[in-house]
Amino acid sequence: MERKDTTRQMSRKWAFPSGIMEHEIRARGFVTSQVDAPNLKAESVATPHGMNIYPFSISIVSLSSCEGVFPTPANNGPTRRSVYHDLNPHCREIRLLRLHLEDNDGFIACDLLPAITLSTAKGKYTAISYCAGDPKRTKQILVNGIHFNVFENLAHVLDMTRDFWRKNCPNKECIIWADQICINQSNLAERSHQVGFMRSIYSSAVQTLICLSTTEVDPRGIEWLVNLHQSVDPDGDFYQYYFHLEYHLRTNLANQQFLNDWFTFYDVFSSPWWTRTWVYQEFISSSNIYFLYGRSSITWKRLSEVLPTLQKYSHFPYFGPAITERQAQVADTNNIVNFFVISKLRFDRVGPFDLMDLLSQSRHLQSSDARDRIYAFLGLVREDYGILPDYSPENTMEKLLVDIATRVVLQDRTLDILSDACRVRGELSPSLPSWVPDWTTKACVRLLPRIIRDNNDQPVPIFPPIVDTGRLEVQGFHIGAPRKGKIGWFVPSRQDTFRQWEGRDELWEIVGAPGPFVLHHAGDREYRLFKEARGARPSGYTSVESLIKKEGLQMQTVVLS
């Protein structure tokens, strides 16, 4: 059963007429092949007002080889041909590694096992999550006895994994999945296909080892956290546990070694792992997690029990200036950790995210390929968006952003995206339709507020928005021209609400969107979305809706380009 966020539903008053569920997308220049979406009717559906609405189809750009899309350490042709055999994409096959626990002639060694279906492999391997790092910094390992270049960070992770395995399960084979080796990085089609079910790969693993270190590090921070957890019994009453934990911290303030180890704990938060886009899905999708830091480890369960108290109390002055200063130094990463923790709790409890919500909240994460700011989250959102990863050079970031915005409008059946388009503008915005957000724009980690508004007083539109070659057809009410001062319909609640008006600026209430908005008239029925007008209010009216009813304004159809 599809789960919906009730807070999002509040801003989705407008509904689709009975029988109209899909619509036509015509995206010139986007596609070289077209695949009909499954279970969609081929014939058009007539609205009560004589409009024909056509079934929605999914457009896919054909795959081709492209160097540099995934910056990974190079391995020559003979090496790749000796190691890899093609996977069957129809069976969701994956490759697994048998990691040797001892070196082979001074090299980390592993065997790439024959391909296996994911359903057969479920529960039989350990997934690895790490920060890849600089592709120019490499190390050689042995794969099937052949020298193989990997990220320097991956070599470190494999070494830490061996150490973890020797300590915890020395009598078992170490069977792992690591993306750089288990995916043929020279096969673009395979890369795109494997990315499409990355969530399933991590959720099917018996456990996930997340390596926060990239080199040999002082593990005292993790060891201090493990000892702290063991010193305070987490069982029993929730509030009693946190009281005892705080008491334990305060009573050890005179212990200099305790304080020094506490100080090193914050090095764990300085790991670049927390800032990478792909690891977010890997973390959210995994069920049994171990964090590795150097040659020490802690379970996610233990970390999640202790972390809230450390974050709540460690900024208090009585914990000492050194701890307070170190806490301030990692404040941004600390917020990112909170973002990860809250997201996982929400996903485990509620299920898939709305795509627009996730894109709004994750703009602080980083990726080497801008398209991964979309693709890295596909496993965490509803499947009805119908997005397939495509790393071909023809699929530019601009095309992808328009495609994503189109699918959000048609599948979410809301125009909340107009608010995001006003807020999320960046270097790509001049080349995008005005209603399309530039999700490549970076943002701080503080959670962006979502616009929630009850549209109970808004009329239901006669027909839903239609997207055609980057143009969005919507319905709304022209409610006047934005003006400063007390003359006219609208008075800004803040003096800096609007820029200097131009003669073509108009105020519109868009049906299904958390408006009003300032639109720039571009000619005939065509407009460019300029900005939100949430700081404006109707002079002499209690609400925009009351103004529309009182003045008898008529709903009009306009096109946003």
Q: What is the pLDDT of residues 309-322, one digit of tens each?
A: 676 655 555 555 56
Query: Which residues have CB under 8 Å from 103's CB, separation 6+?
Result: 109
pTM score, whole prediction: 0.73
- The secondary structure element, H or E, covering residue 546 is helix 544-551
Q: Which residue in the block uniquely carries the two structure tokens 């082979």?
A: 104
DSSP annotation of 50: S
To the nearest 10°, the Cα dihedral for 507, 403, 447, 383? 130
Structural tokens at position 48: 């009560």
* Number of separate domains in the chain: 1
How confident is the model at residue 157, as a pLDDT?
95
Q: Tell me, what amino acid is at 111?
A: D
Look at residue 420 and tell me if it is in a domain.
no
Q: Which of 316, 323, 273, 317 is nearest to 293 (CA)?
A: 273
Side-chain half-sphere CA neighbours of 317 within 13 A: 0
Residues 111-167 have pLDDT tens digits of 999 999 999 999 999 999 999 888 888 899 999 998 998 999 999 999 999 999 999
Look at residue 127 and tell me if it is in a domain.
yes
Question: Roughly how many angstroms between the first and final C-alpha of the chain, as a whole number?
Answer: 36
> Does 90 or 243 have the greater pLDDT score?
90
What band does 303 get if pLDDT is binned at 50, 70 and 90?
A: confident
DSSP code string of 530-545? EEE-TTEEETT-SSHH
Residues 201-250 have pLDDT tens digits of 999 999 999 999 988 788 888 888 888 878 877 666 667 777 787 788 88
Look at residue 190 and tell me if it is in a domain.
yes
Look at residue 118 and tell me if it is in a domain.
yes
Side-chain half-sphere CA neighbours of 342 within 13 A: 12
- Gap between the Cα atoms of 212 and 222, Å rounded: 11
Name the least confident of 56-60, 172-176, 390-394, 435-439.
56-60
- Gap between the Cα atoms of 134 and 154, Å rounded: 11
CA separation, residue 297 to residues 168, 282, 287, 289, 435 (Å): 11, 18, 16, 10, 46
What band does 356 get if pLDDT is binned at 50, 70 and 90?
A: confident
Look at residue 412 and tell me if it is in a domain.
no
Full domain range(s) for residue 120: 77-211
- In residues, how long is the chain? 561
DSSP code string of 226-259? HHHHHHS---S-HHHHHHHHHHHHHHTTT-HHHH
To the nearest 10°, the Cα dihedral for 229, 231, 234, 239? -110
Environment class of residue 286 by beta-carbon count within 10 Å: exposed (0-12), middle (13-18) or buried (19+)?
buried
* Highest-confidence segment of 61-65, 250-254, 502-506: 250-254
Look at residue 104 and tell me if it is in a domain.
yes
How confident is the model at residue 540, as a pLDDT?
63
Q: Which of 376, 347, 392 is nearest to 195 (CA)?
A: 376
Q: Which of 225, 252, 211, 220 is nearest to 309 (CA)?
A: 225
Look at residue 72 and tell me if it is in a domain.
no
Instruction: Indicate the average pLDDT of the chain.
Output: 74
Q: Which of 511, 421, 508 is nearest to 464 (CA)?
A: 511
> With 70 as the cut, is the pLDDT of residue 556 above it?
yes
Structural tokens at position 515: 């408006």
Helix orientation angle between 300-313 and 331-350, rounded to the nearest 10 degrees: 130
What band does 168 get if pLDDT is binned at 50, 70 and 90?
A: very high
DSSP annotation of 553: P
Look at residue 44 and tell me if it is in a domain.
no
- Gap between the Cα atoms of 3 and 378, Å rounded: 17
* Highest-confidence segment of 308-312, 478-482, 501-505: 478-482
What band does 333 get if pLDDT is binned at 50, 70 and 90?
A: low
- Gap between the Cα atoms of 80 and 370, Å rounded: 27
> With 50 as the cut, is the pLDDT of residue 462 above it?
no
Query: Which residues have CB under 8 Å from 269's CB, separation 6+?
Result: 330, 333, 334, 337
Residues 334-351 have pLDDT tens digits of 777 778 888 888 888 888
